[in-house]
Chain A
Protein backbone atom coordinates (compact mmCIF):
# COMPACT_ATOMS: atom_id res chain seq x y z
CA UNK A 1 0.00 0.00 0.00
CA UNK A 2 2.72 2.37 1.00
CA UNK A 3 4.51 1.72 -2.23
CA UNK A 4 1.43 2.52 -4.25
CA UNK A 5 0.94 5.80 -2.41
CA UNK A 6 4.60 6.57 -2.96
CA UNK A 7 4.32 5.89 -6.65
CA UNK A 8 1.11 7.86 -6.90
CA UNK A 9 2.83 10.86 -5.40
CA UNK A 10 5.70 10.51 -7.82
CA UNK A 11 3.33 10.31 -10.77
CA UNK A 12 1.42 13.31 -9.49
CA UNK A 13 4.62 15.28 -9.13
CA UNK A 14 5.71 14.47 -12.64
CA UNK A 15 2.30 15.40 -13.96
CA UNK A 16 2.34 18.73 -12.21
CA UNK A 17 5.80 19.40 -13.52
CA UNK A 18 4.82 18.58 -17.04
CA UNK A 19 1.64 20.62 -17.00
CA UNK A 20 3.47 23.48 -15.39
CA UNK A 21 6.23 23.75 -17.93
CA UNK A 22 3.78 23.25 -20.76
CA UNK A 23 1.58 26.09 -19.58
CA UNK A 24 4.53 28.38 -19.17
CA UNK A 25 5.73 27.78 -22.68
CA UNK A 26 2.25 28.06 -24.11
CA UNK A 27 1.61 31.48 -22.63
CA UNK A 28 4.93 32.73 -23.83
CA UNK A 29 4.21 31.54 -27.31
CA UNK A 30 0.86 33.28 -27.33
CA UNK A 31 2.47 36.52 -26.25
CA UNK A 32 4.92 36.41 -29.08
CA UNK A 33 2.09 35.74 -31.49
CA UNK A 34 0.02 38.63 -30.23
CA UNK A 35 2.97 40.95 -30.54
CA UNK A 36 3.76 40.16 -34.12
CA UNK A 37 0.08 40.42 -35.02
CA UNK A 38 0.04 44.14 -34.37
CA UNK A 39 2.10 44.79 -37.44
CA UNK A 40 0.52 42.07 -39.49
CA UNK A 41 -2.51 43.81 -40.87
CA UNK A 42 -5.00 41.97 -42.99
CA UNK A 43 -5.70 43.95 -46.09
CA UNK A 44 -9.22 45.01 -46.96
CA UNK A 45 -10.60 46.51 -50.14
CA UNK A 46 -12.36 49.81 -50.58
CA UNK A 47 -13.99 51.43 -53.59
CA UNK A 48 -13.31 55.02 -52.67
CA UNK A 49 -12.25 57.13 -55.63
CA UNK A 50 -8.93 58.94 -55.40
CA UNK A 51 -8.23 62.31 -56.91
CA UNK A 52 -4.95 62.96 -58.71
CA UNK A 53 -3.25 66.07 -57.37
CA UNK A 54 -0.36 67.37 -59.48
CA UNK A 55 1.22 69.10 -56.49
CA UNK A 56 3.37 72.17 -56.89
CA UNK A 57 4.74 74.92 -54.74
CA UNK A 58 2.66 76.25 -51.94
CA UNK A 59 3.06 78.51 -48.98
CA UNK A 60 2.32 76.67 -45.73
CA UNK A 61 0.59 78.48 -42.89
CA UNK A 62 3.41 77.52 -40.63
CA UNK A 63 6.79 76.71 -41.98
CA UNK A 64 10.35 77.72 -42.54
CA UNK A 65 10.85 81.41 -43.18
CA UNK A 66 12.00 80.72 -46.73
CA UNK A 67 8.39 79.68 -47.16
CA UNK A 68 7.56 77.88 -50.38
CA UNK A 69 7.23 74.13 -50.01
CA UNK A 70 7.17 71.83 -53.01
CA UNK A 71 4.51 69.16 -52.85
CA UNK A 72 5.10 66.15 -55.11
CA UNK A 73 2.18 64.72 -57.10
CA UNK A 74 -0.04 62.41 -55.06
CA UNK A 75 -3.41 60.71 -54.90
CA UNK A 76 -5.92 61.50 -52.18
CA UNK A 77 -9.29 59.95 -51.30
CA UNK A 78 -12.20 62.05 -52.51
CA UNK A 79 -13.87 61.54 -49.13
CA UNK A 80 -13.18 60.52 -45.55
CA UNK A 81 -13.15 56.88 -44.41
CA UNK A 82 -16.66 55.90 -43.30
CA UNK A 83 -18.11 54.04 -40.33
CA UNK A 84 -18.90 51.04 -42.53
CA UNK A 85 -15.39 50.90 -43.97
CA UNK A 86 -13.81 51.06 -40.55
CA UNK A 87 -16.12 48.30 -39.36
CA UNK A 88 -14.90 46.08 -42.24
CA UNK A 89 -11.35 46.84 -41.16
CA UNK A 90 -12.15 45.80 -37.58
CA UNK A 91 -13.71 42.53 -38.74
CA UNK A 92 -10.41 41.54 -40.31
CA UNK A 93 -8.12 43.11 -37.74
CA UNK A 94 -9.30 42.21 -34.23
CA UNK A 95 -6.27 43.88 -32.61
CA UNK A 96 -7.87 47.24 -33.48
CA UNK A 97 -11.27 46.49 -31.91
CA UNK A 98 -12.11 48.66 -28.92
CA UNK A 99 -11.86 45.78 -26.45
CA UNK A 100 -8.47 44.69 -27.72
CA UNK A 101 -6.61 47.82 -28.75
CA UNK A 102 -3.50 48.59 -26.71
CA UNK A 103 -3.71 51.79 -24.65
CA UNK A 104 -0.48 52.99 -26.13
CA UNK A 105 -2.23 53.07 -29.52
CA UNK A 106 -5.59 54.54 -28.49
CA UNK A 107 -6.95 56.22 -25.38
CA UNK A 108 -10.00 54.99 -23.43
CA UNK A 109 -12.52 56.90 -25.56
CA UNK A 110 -11.49 55.05 -28.74
CA UNK A 111 -14.73 54.27 -30.67
CA UNK A 112 -16.41 55.45 -27.48
CA UNK A 113 -19.99 55.37 -28.75
CA UNK A 114 -19.80 51.87 -30.20
CA UNK A 115 -21.90 49.54 -28.02
CA UNK A 116 -19.58 46.63 -28.76
CA UNK A 117 -16.58 45.65 -30.86
CA UNK A 118 -18.36 45.22 -34.19
CA UNK A 119 -21.48 47.28 -33.74
CA UNK A 120 -21.95 50.83 -34.95
CA UNK A 121 -23.72 53.24 -32.60
CA UNK A 122 -27.50 52.82 -32.99
CA UNK A 123 -28.13 56.08 -34.84
CA UNK A 124 -24.87 56.18 -36.79
CA UNK A 125 -25.05 56.30 -40.58
CA UNK A 126 -22.82 53.68 -42.21
CA UNK A 127 -21.61 56.32 -44.66
CA UNK A 128 -20.87 59.00 -42.10
CA UNK A 129 -17.17 59.55 -41.46
CA UNK A 130 -15.52 57.38 -38.83
CA UNK A 131 -14.42 59.45 -35.83
CA UNK A 132 -12.92 58.85 -32.42
CA UNK A 133 -10.01 56.94 -33.82
CA UNK A 134 -6.39 57.57 -32.92
CA UNK A 135 -3.56 58.42 -35.29
CA UNK A 136 -2.22 54.89 -34.86
CA UNK A 137 -5.59 53.37 -35.79
CA UNK A 138 -5.96 55.68 -38.79
CA UNK A 139 -2.48 54.76 -39.92
CA UNK A 140 -3.19 51.05 -39.56
CA UNK A 141 -6.41 51.38 -41.56
CA UNK A 142 -4.58 53.24 -44.34
CA UNK A 143 -1.94 50.52 -44.43
CA UNK A 144 -4.60 47.82 -44.65
CA UNK A 145 -6.00 49.38 -47.84
CA UNK A 146 -2.54 49.84 -49.32
CA UNK A 147 -2.47 53.57 -48.70
CA UNK A 148 -1.10 56.02 -46.14
CA UNK A 149 -2.24 59.15 -44.34
CA UNK A 150 -1.76 62.40 -46.26
CA UNK A 151 1.03 64.63 -45.05
CA UNK A 152 0.10 67.93 -43.51
CA UNK A 153 1.33 69.73 -46.63
CA UNK A 154 -0.67 67.44 -48.92
CA UNK A 155 -3.82 68.01 -46.87
CA UNK A 156 -3.38 71.76 -46.75
CA UNK A 157 -2.50 71.88 -50.47
CA UNK A 158 -5.94 70.61 -51.51
CA UNK A 159 -7.55 72.66 -48.74
CA UNK A 160 -6.49 75.87 -50.52
CA UNK A 161 -9.10 75.22 -53.19
CA UNK A 162 -12.68 76.37 -53.30
CA UNK A 163 -15.23 74.98 -55.75
CA UNK A 164 -13.80 76.79 -58.75
CA UNK A 165 -10.12 77.45 -58.19
CA UNK A 166 -7.13 75.53 -56.81
CA UNK A 167 -6.05 78.41 -54.61
CA UNK A 168 -8.79 80.53 -53.13
CA UNK A 169 -6.84 81.77 -50.15
CA UNK A 170 -6.83 85.36 -51.27
CA UNK A 171 -10.61 85.48 -51.69
CA UNK A 172 -12.15 87.14 -48.65
CA UNK A 173 -14.99 84.61 -48.62
CA UNK A 174 -12.66 81.59 -48.43
CA UNK A 175 -11.76 81.68 -44.75
CA UNK A 176 -15.14 83.04 -43.67
CA UNK A 177 -16.98 80.18 -45.36
CA UNK A 178 -14.79 77.58 -43.68
CA UNK A 179 -15.18 79.20 -40.28
CA UNK A 180 -18.95 79.13 -40.61
CA UNK A 181 -18.74 75.42 -41.51
CA UNK A 182 -16.52 74.78 -38.49
CA UNK A 183 -19.09 76.40 -36.23
CA UNK A 184 -21.86 73.98 -37.08
CA UNK A 185 -22.59 71.47 -34.31
CA UNK A 186 -22.94 67.69 -34.65
CA UNK A 187 -21.80 67.92 -38.23
CA UNK A 188 -19.75 64.74 -37.98
CA UNK A 189 -22.86 62.53 -38.00
CA UNK A 190 -23.84 63.47 -41.54
CA UNK A 191 -23.11 61.23 -44.51
CA UNK A 192 -20.11 61.96 -46.72
CA UNK A 193 -20.33 63.48 -50.22
CA UNK A 194 -23.61 65.32 -49.72
CA UNK A 195 -22.07 68.76 -50.21
CA UNK A 196 -20.27 70.01 -53.32
CA UNK A 197 -16.72 68.86 -54.06
CA UNK A 198 -13.90 71.37 -54.39
CA UNK A 199 -11.86 72.21 -57.49
CA UNK A 200 -9.99 68.87 -57.26
CA UNK A 201 -13.19 66.83 -56.86
CA UNK A 202 -12.58 66.35 -53.15
CA UNK A 203 -15.47 66.31 -50.71
CA UNK A 204 -15.97 67.41 -47.11
CA UNK A 205 -12.60 68.89 -46.29
CA UNK A 206 -14.24 71.34 -43.92
CA UNK A 207 -17.92 70.65 -43.38
CA UNK A 208 -17.95 67.36 -41.44
CA UNK A 209 -14.84 66.58 -39.45
CA UNK A 210 -11.27 67.44 -38.58
CA UNK A 211 -8.78 65.03 -40.13
CA UNK A 212 -5.57 63.36 -39.01
CA UNK A 213 -2.45 63.98 -41.07
CA UNK A 214 0.57 61.74 -41.03
CA UNK A 215 2.97 64.34 -39.64
CA UNK A 216 0.58 66.26 -37.38
CA UNK A 217 3.36 66.22 -34.78
CA UNK A 218 5.66 68.40 -36.86
CA UNK A 219 4.20 71.75 -35.80
CA UNK A 220 6.59 73.28 -33.37
CA UNK A 221 4.69 75.65 -31.23
CA UNK A 222 3.30 75.22 -27.78
CA UNK A 223 -0.40 74.51 -27.62
CA UNK A 224 -0.86 77.32 -25.15
CA UNK A 225 -0.60 80.64 -26.96
CA UNK A 226 -0.17 82.44 -23.67
CA UNK A 227 3.35 81.08 -23.49
CA UNK A 228 5.84 83.63 -24.66
CA UNK A 229 8.18 82.96 -27.56
CA UNK A 230 11.06 82.83 -25.12
CA UNK A 231 9.52 79.87 -23.37
CA UNK A 232 8.98 78.20 -26.71
CA UNK A 233 12.69 78.35 -27.35
CA UNK A 234 13.37 76.17 -24.34
CA UNK A 235 10.83 73.63 -25.45
CA UNK A 236 12.05 73.31 -28.99
CA UNK A 237 15.39 73.11 -30.65
CA UNK A 238 15.45 75.63 -33.52
CA UNK A 239 11.88 76.75 -32.85
CA UNK A 240 12.75 80.11 -34.34
CA UNK A 241 12.77 78.43 -37.74
CA UNK A 242 9.05 77.84 -37.67
CA UNK A 243 6.37 80.46 -37.39
CA UNK A 244 3.11 81.48 -38.93
CA UNK A 245 3.20 82.94 -42.44
CA UNK A 246 -0.52 83.38 -43.01
CA UNK A 247 -1.98 84.61 -39.74
CA UNK A 248 -4.99 86.13 -41.43
CA UNK A 249 -6.25 82.71 -42.41
CA UNK A 250 -8.08 81.97 -39.20
CA UNK A 251 -9.56 78.69 -40.43
CA UNK A 252 -6.11 77.32 -41.10
CA UNK A 253 -5.00 78.64 -37.75
CA UNK A 254 -7.75 76.64 -36.06
CA UNK A 255 -6.58 73.45 -37.77
CA UNK A 256 -3.02 74.07 -36.72
CA UNK A 257 -4.07 74.87 -33.19
CA UNK A 258 -5.94 71.58 -33.00
CA UNK A 259 -3.02 69.60 -34.44
CA UNK A 260 -0.60 71.00 -31.89
CA UNK A 261 -2.80 69.83 -29.03
CA UNK A 262 -3.12 66.27 -30.35
CA UNK A 263 -1.25 63.24 -29.18
CA UNK A 264 -1.14 60.18 -31.38
CA UNK A 265 -3.32 58.03 -29.11
CA UNK A 266 -5.99 60.73 -28.64
CA UNK A 267 -9.46 60.07 -29.98
CA UNK A 268 -11.93 62.90 -30.51
CA UNK A 269 -15.62 62.84 -31.40
CA UNK A 270 -15.18 64.79 -34.65
CA UNK A 271 -11.67 63.80 -35.67
CA UNK A 272 -11.45 61.29 -38.52
CA UNK A 273 -9.25 60.81 -41.57
CA UNK A 274 -8.94 60.11 -45.26
CA UNK A 275 -6.15 58.25 -47.06
CA UNK A 276 -3.58 59.24 -49.64
CA UNK A 277 -1.12 57.44 -51.84
CA UNK A 278 2.10 58.09 -53.73
CA UNK A 279 1.86 58.27 -57.47
CA UNK A 280 4.43 57.85 -60.22
CA UNK A 281 2.34 59.85 -62.65
CA UNK A 282 3.78 63.34 -62.88
CA UNK A 283 1.21 64.88 -65.18
CA UNK A 284 -2.57 64.63 -65.19
CA UNK A 285 -4.02 62.87 -68.22
Chain B
Protein backbone atom coordinates (compact mmCIF):
# COMPACT_ATOMS: atom_id res chain seq x y z
CA UNK B 1 0.00 0.00 0.00
CA UNK B 2 2.73 2.35 0.99
CA UNK B 3 4.47 1.51 -2.25
CA UNK B 4 1.36 2.23 -4.29
CA UNK B 5 0.80 5.60 -2.75
CA UNK B 6 4.41 6.45 -3.32
CA UNK B 7 4.11 5.41 -6.94
CA UNK B 8 1.06 7.61 -7.17
CA UNK B 9 3.05 10.46 -5.71
CA UNK B 10 5.77 9.96 -8.30
CA UNK B 11 3.21 9.97 -11.10
CA UNK B 12 1.64 13.09 -9.65
CA UNK B 13 4.99 14.80 -9.45
CA UNK B 14 5.85 13.99 -13.02
CA UNK B 15 2.55 15.27 -14.31
CA UNK B 16 2.83 18.42 -12.25
CA UNK B 17 6.32 18.70 -13.63
CA UNK B 18 5.02 18.55 -17.18
CA UNK B 19 2.48 21.21 -16.38
CA UNK B 20 5.02 23.54 -14.91
CA UNK B 21 7.17 22.95 -17.96
CA UNK B 22 4.37 24.26 -20.12
CA UNK B 23 4.77 27.78 -18.87
CA UNK B 24 8.31 28.42 -20.00
CA UNK B 25 7.80 26.64 -23.33
CA UNK B 26 4.73 28.77 -23.94
CA UNK B 27 6.98 31.44 -25.39
CA UNK B 28 5.99 34.83 -26.68
CA UNK B 29 4.03 34.52 -29.94
CA UNK B 30 5.87 35.57 -33.08
CA UNK B 31 3.52 38.51 -33.67
CA UNK B 32 3.66 39.79 -30.09
CA UNK B 33 4.88 43.29 -29.25
CA UNK B 34 6.88 41.65 -26.47
CA UNK B 35 9.40 40.58 -29.11
CA UNK B 36 10.56 44.18 -29.27
CA UNK B 37 13.72 44.56 -27.24
CA UNK B 38 13.77 48.33 -26.86
CA UNK B 39 14.23 49.88 -23.45
CA UNK B 40 11.66 52.27 -21.98
CA UNK B 41 11.16 54.39 -18.88
CA UNK B 42 7.88 54.78 -17.07
CA UNK B 43 6.59 57.84 -15.20
CA UNK B 44 8.43 56.71 -12.07
CA UNK B 45 11.73 56.64 -13.90
CA UNK B 46 11.92 52.82 -13.78
CA UNK B 47 13.69 51.26 -16.72
CA UNK B 48 11.69 48.51 -18.39
CA UNK B 49 11.13 46.46 -21.53
CA UNK B 50 7.79 46.02 -23.21
CA UNK B 51 7.59 42.40 -22.04
CA UNK B 52 7.45 43.69 -18.48
CA UNK B 53 3.86 44.61 -19.38
CA UNK B 54 3.13 40.93 -20.05
CA UNK B 55 0.17 39.36 -18.25
CA UNK B 56 -2.38 42.13 -18.52
CA UNK B 57 -4.72 43.23 -21.25
CA UNK B 58 -3.22 46.42 -22.66
CA UNK B 59 -4.94 49.52 -23.96
CA UNK B 60 -2.31 51.54 -25.79
CA UNK B 61 -2.26 55.02 -27.23
CA UNK B 62 0.59 57.18 -28.52
CA UNK B 63 0.48 60.88 -27.64
CA UNK B 64 2.66 63.78 -26.59
CA UNK B 65 1.77 65.72 -23.50
CA UNK B 66 2.31 69.24 -24.84
CA UNK B 67 -0.24 68.60 -27.61
CA UNK B 68 -3.13 71.05 -27.60
CA UNK B 69 -5.34 69.56 -30.29
CA UNK B 70 -6.18 65.87 -30.64
CA UNK B 71 -4.15 64.42 -27.77
CA UNK B 72 -6.29 65.92 -24.98
CA UNK B 73 -9.25 64.24 -26.68
CA UNK B 74 -7.34 60.96 -26.88
CA UNK B 75 -6.35 61.26 -23.22
CA UNK B 76 -9.95 62.01 -22.27
CA UNK B 77 -11.06 58.95 -24.24
CA UNK B 78 -8.52 56.80 -22.43
CA UNK B 79 -9.90 58.08 -19.12
CA UNK B 80 -13.46 57.31 -20.17
CA UNK B 81 -12.41 53.83 -21.25
CA UNK B 82 -10.70 53.32 -17.89
CA UNK B 83 -13.79 54.45 -16.00
CA UNK B 84 -16.01 52.06 -17.95
CA UNK B 85 -13.89 48.98 -17.26
CA UNK B 86 -15.43 46.91 -14.48
CA UNK B 87 -13.59 47.38 -11.14
CA UNK B 88 -13.46 43.58 -10.92
CA UNK B 89 -11.39 43.53 -14.08
CA UNK B 90 -9.29 46.65 -13.71
CA UNK B 91 -6.43 44.73 -12.05
CA UNK B 92 -6.10 42.71 -15.24
CA UNK B 93 -5.78 45.79 -17.42
CA UNK B 94 -2.95 48.23 -18.08
CA UNK B 95 -3.67 51.52 -19.80
CA UNK B 96 -0.50 52.59 -21.52
CA UNK B 97 0.28 56.05 -22.91
CA UNK B 98 3.41 56.07 -25.05
CA UNK B 99 5.02 59.42 -25.76
CA UNK B 100 6.04 60.32 -29.32
CA UNK B 101 8.02 63.28 -27.94
CA UNK B 102 10.83 61.72 -25.86
CA UNK B 103 12.72 65.01 -25.69
CA UNK B 104 10.02 66.83 -23.74
CA UNK B 105 8.21 63.90 -22.16
CA UNK B 106 10.78 62.84 -19.61
CA UNK B 107 9.67 60.56 -16.73
CA UNK B 108 9.22 63.50 -14.28
CA UNK B 109 7.26 65.37 -16.93
CA UNK B 110 5.01 62.33 -17.47
CA UNK B 111 4.58 61.90 -13.72
CA UNK B 112 3.43 65.50 -13.46
CA UNK B 113 1.06 65.00 -16.39
CA UNK B 114 -0.35 61.85 -14.76
CA UNK B 115 -0.98 63.67 -11.48
CA UNK B 116 -2.60 66.71 -13.10
CA UNK B 117 -4.90 64.47 -15.08
CA UNK B 118 -5.77 62.10 -12.23
CA UNK B 119 -4.10 59.25 -14.01
CA UNK B 120 -1.75 58.17 -11.26
CA UNK B 121 -3.49 54.96 -10.18
CA UNK B 122 -1.72 51.62 -10.64
CA UNK B 123 -3.43 50.77 -13.94
CA UNK B 124 -1.85 53.75 -15.72
CA UNK B 125 1.55 53.42 -17.35
CA UNK B 126 3.33 56.22 -19.19
CA UNK B 127 6.26 55.24 -21.36
CA UNK B 128 9.05 57.19 -22.99
CA UNK B 129 12.17 56.04 -24.81
CA UNK B 130 14.53 57.09 -27.58
CA UNK B 131 13.41 58.40 -30.95
CA UNK B 132 14.45 55.14 -32.64
CA UNK B 133 12.49 53.00 -30.19
CA UNK B 134 9.48 55.29 -30.51
CA UNK B 135 9.62 55.08 -34.29
CA UNK B 136 9.83 51.28 -34.15
CA UNK B 137 6.88 51.07 -31.79
CA UNK B 138 4.82 53.49 -33.91
CA UNK B 139 5.56 51.31 -36.92
CA UNK B 140 4.41 48.23 -35.07
CA UNK B 141 1.13 50.02 -34.34
CA UNK B 142 1.02 51.27 -37.95
CA UNK B 143 0.76 54.71 -36.49
CA UNK B 144 1.92 57.62 -38.61
CA UNK B 145 3.56 60.65 -37.09
CA UNK B 146 5.76 63.52 -38.14
CA UNK B 147 7.40 66.33 -36.24
CA UNK B 148 6.04 69.46 -37.90
CA UNK B 149 7.74 72.03 -35.68
CA UNK B 150 9.95 71.91 -32.59
CA UNK B 151 6.84 71.71 -30.41
CA UNK B 152 4.26 70.05 -32.59
CA UNK B 153 3.64 66.64 -34.09
CA UNK B 154 1.14 65.55 -36.63
CA UNK B 155 0.01 61.99 -35.91
CA UNK B 156 -2.73 59.45 -36.41
CA UNK B 157 -5.22 58.84 -33.61
CA UNK B 158 -5.27 55.17 -32.74
CA UNK B 159 -6.21 53.26 -29.61
CA UNK B 160 -5.02 49.63 -29.70
CA UNK B 161 -5.95 46.69 -27.48
CA UNK B 162 -3.40 43.92 -26.91
CA UNK B 163 -3.90 40.53 -25.28
CA UNK B 164 -1.81 39.69 -22.16
CA UNK B 165 0.77 37.99 -24.40
CA UNK B 166 1.16 41.08 -26.58
CA UNK B 167 -0.91 40.14 -29.62
CA UNK B 168 -2.96 42.86 -31.25
CA UNK B 169 -6.67 42.31 -30.64
CA UNK B 170 -8.14 45.42 -32.21
CA UNK B 171 -7.44 48.98 -33.24
CA UNK B 172 -9.81 51.90 -33.30
CA UNK B 173 -8.74 54.77 -35.49
CA UNK B 174 -10.04 58.29 -36.02
CA UNK B 175 -13.40 58.76 -34.33
CA UNK B 176 -12.77 56.25 -31.60
CA UNK B 177 -15.80 54.26 -30.47
CA UNK B 178 -15.17 54.08 -26.72
CA UNK B 179 -17.78 51.41 -26.00
CA UNK B 180 -16.28 49.17 -28.64
CA UNK B 181 -12.86 49.46 -26.99
CA UNK B 182 -14.38 48.76 -23.56
CA UNK B 183 -16.19 45.69 -24.91
CA UNK B 184 -12.99 44.41 -26.50
CA UNK B 185 -11.10 44.89 -23.25
CA UNK B 186 -13.80 42.99 -21.35
CA UNK B 187 -13.72 40.08 -23.80
CA UNK B 188 -9.93 39.95 -23.81
CA UNK B 189 -9.74 39.93 -20.01
CA UNK B 190 -12.41 37.20 -19.82
CA UNK B 191 -10.67 35.03 -22.41
CA UNK B 192 -7.34 35.19 -20.63
CA UNK B 193 -8.45 34.57 -17.07
Contact = CB atoms under 8 A, between A and B. Distances in A.
Interface of A: 2, 5-6, 9-10, 12-13, 16-17, 19-20, 23-24, 27-28, 31, 35-36, 38-39, 64, 102-105, 135-136, 214-215, 217-220, 231, 234-239, 241-242, 260, 263-265
A105 B157 contact: no
B155 A237 contact: yes
B24 interface: yes
Nearest to A237: B70
Interface of B: 2-3, 6-7, 9-10, 13-14, 17, 20-21, 23-25, 27-33, 35-37, 51, 67, 69-71, 135-136, 138-140, 142-146, 148-149, 152-157, 173-175
A264 B6 contact: no
Contact of B142 (A17, A238, A263): A263
Contacts of B149: 64
A214 B175 CA distance: 28
B155 A35 contact: no
A242 B146 contact: yes
A263 B141 CA distance: 9
A149 B25 CA distance: 36
Nearest to A106: B30
A10 to B, nearest CB: 8
B138 A217 contact: yes
A238 B21 contact: no
B35 A38 contact: yes
A261 to B, nearest CB: 11
Given A9-B6, A104-B36, A242-B146, A17 B157 contact: no
A38 B157 contact: no
B145 A241 contact: no
Given A6-B2, A218-B145, A238 B35 contact: no
Contacts of A265: 140
A235 to B, nearest CB: 4
A231 B174 contact: yes
A104 B13 contact: no
B30 A264 contact: no
Most buried by A among B23, B135, B144: B144
Contact of B156 (A13, A104, A220, A263): A220
Given A64-B148, A242-B146, A263-B142, A104 B33 contact: yes
